[in-house]
Amino acid sequence: MNQSNLNVSPQTFVSVSDNLRRSANYKPNIWKHHFLQSLHSKYNKEEFVMVLNKLVMEVKSLFARETNILKQLELVDWIQKLGLANHFQKEINGFLESIHAYVKTSHVNTSEEQDLHVSALCFRLLRNHGYAVLPDMLSKFLDKNGKVKRTISSHAGDVKHVLELLEASHLGLEGEKILDKAKICAISSLKDAFSLSSINKDQLSDTVDAERVVHSLELSSHWRVQWFEVKWHVKQYSKEKNMNPVLLELSKLNFNMIQSTLQLELKELSRWWENLGIKEELSFARNRLVESFMCAAGVAFEPKHKSIRKWLTKVIVFVLVIDDVYDIHASFQELKPFTMAFERWDDTEVVEELPTYMKTCVHALKDVTNEIAYEIGGENNFHLVLHYLKKAWIEFCKALYEEAKWYNKGYIPSLQKYLSNAWISSSGPVILLHSYLGTMYQVNDSMEHFVQTYEDLVYNVSLVIRLCNDLGTTVVYNQSLLA
């Protein structure tokens, strides 16, 4: 959503006393630079790459040897859960393509209990990879009241099957009542099973560990950040009766190697942040480099996405700093020209009129944005990329300024008016644009197509970010009132 131009002139500032400025009383940063530089891992050595490649080849042979459809599905599922999908993309895509064609024309000849497991897992994997698959394949497992059929729910191993049904139901679309019923039924069945396990945990030991039930009921795997779940899944896989030792060894080695790569990147970013000087000049702002890096790693953890992680970390760090300038430290009079300094990106005179801390912030952000634009677009497309990055930052700052005006006037907007601005101030558009540009094989005029085609996607994701953020800050605010 476009914001109107500010049309204000540079002005000389009246100094604002520090004791008149607000403070958020943020907790100090616990990740010190010297500690981050001390991080060390042996897994960045070339010898481990050779071992990894050997294990990958051994696991690839499993795709050719395995003929049981359930075991094939579980192999693909575990490979993804263990963070190994990037090593087997060709094999996974080939299998899913064949299984998609198979389920459209054939009936899986298994017992009813196993059929539920196969169908639910198959549905989840296919839909998660963008295949057009209907939930009708799960309807035969529910009775007319929308409950799992008694012949299945009374089976000794039903927990594992119902758990898979629950995970599949989280990929439902609006209006798919079959999946709505399946979710309600699965949650009820699993809660009943878990209450029994609290009396006799051995009752669940042959099907699925009780902690898996708790884990799934707490939050669907579809909603979790994949990289942060890998270590948990490695531990779970080690408990599987049919665990493949080669796959387990590969998952542990791959995790340690990626962790080593991330540590090296974090050390590099910490040196950049230390040399930038922002945290000293803007000491009121959140110093959250490590947390920003973890967010970036959650978006893209594979080693090939090093540049995306670096860019996103820098973007998120500046989102927090600029947000604190608007929300916490700056006087309202300072915010007009501060916003204008971004809107008039190339006007150096406007920047020179700003207070020192604002001047430092503006110069640093522009330098980082220019750097990212050049790394993405190169010499040929630098200005094209910079155009879109500038636009995203300008809209973000103008949205924050709009909220500052509301606060200054004591104005409470309608929900609709608030959300029409809040999805931009959430920083979602800025972060998503950098993520998209970082994955483009070739930067060209198709970026305009992305901006237009995925406007609804960007809006909805940004809105979720804003609402989740508001829920979190509301809880903190309410707790402070009760303190």
| Alpha carbons 373 and 383: distance in angstroms, whole number | 8
Apex 93 CA angle, 88 and 97, nearest 5: 150
Contact 165, 141 (CB under 8 A): yes
- Non-local (6+) Cβ contacts of 203 within 8 A are 193, 196, 197
The DSSP symbol for 15 reads: P
Closest CA to 434 of 310, 341, 342: 310
Place of tokens 């340690």: 256
Closest CA to 121 of 174, 176, 161, 68: 161
Bridge partners, residue 148, by sequence? 142
Residue type, 66: E
- Supply 393's token pair: 């930052």
Backbone conformation region of residue 36, classed left if phi is above 0, alpha if psi is from -120 to 50, else beta:
alpha
As annotated, the residues of the chain forming the CATH 1.10.600.10 domain(s) are 277-482
Computed on alpha carbons and rounded to an integer, the radius of gyration of the chain in Å comes to: 26
What's the pLDDT at 146?
64
One digit per residue, the tens of pLDDT, for the chain of length 483 reads: 444 444 444 344 444 555 567 776 788 899 999 999 999 999 989 999 999 999 999 999 999 898 889 999 999 999 999 999 999 999 999 999 999 988 777 655 444 445 888 899 999 999 999 998 988 888 877 777 766 665 555 444 568 888 999 999 999 999 998 899 889 888 888 887 767 544 344 544 444 567 888 889 899 999 999 999 999 999 999 999 889 999 999 999 999 999 999 999 999 999 999 999 999 999 999 999 999 999 999 999 998 999 999 999 999 999 999 999 999 999 999 999 999 999 999 999 999 999 999 999 999 999 999 999 999 988 888 999 999 999 999 999 999 999 999 999 999 999 999 999 999 999 999 999 999 888 876 677 667 777 777 888 999 999 999 999 998 876 655 665 555
**CB contact burial 431-462 (16+ within 10 A = b; e otherwise):** bbbbbbbbeeeebeeebeebbeeeeeebbebb
| Ordered DSSP codes for 320-378 | HHHHHIIIIIS-HHHHHHHHHHHHTTT-HHHHHTS-HHHHHHHHHHHHHHHHHHHHHHH
Contact 3, 395 (CB under 8 A): yes
- Supply 129's token pair: 């990879």
pTM for the predicted model, two decimal places: 0.87
Please state which CATH number belongs to domain 277-482: 1.10.600.10
| Alpha carbons 83 and 40: distance in angstroms, whole number | 22
Cα dihedral 206, 211, 216, 218, rounded to 10, equals 150
| Alpha carbons 221 and 337: distance in angstroms, whole number | 45
Place of tokens 């057009």: 132
The DSSP symbol for 21 reads: S
What's the pLDDT at 150?
56
| 142 φ/ψ angles, rounded to the nearest 5 degrees | -110, 140
| Alpha carbons 377 and 189: distance in angstroms, whole number | 53
Question: What interhelical angle do 289-299 and 245-276 show, nearest 10?
Answer: 140
Residue type, 212: R
Contact 359, 352 (CB under 8 A): yes
Class of domain 66-243: mainly alpha
As annotated, the residues of the chain forming the CATH 1.50.10.130 domain(s) are 66-243
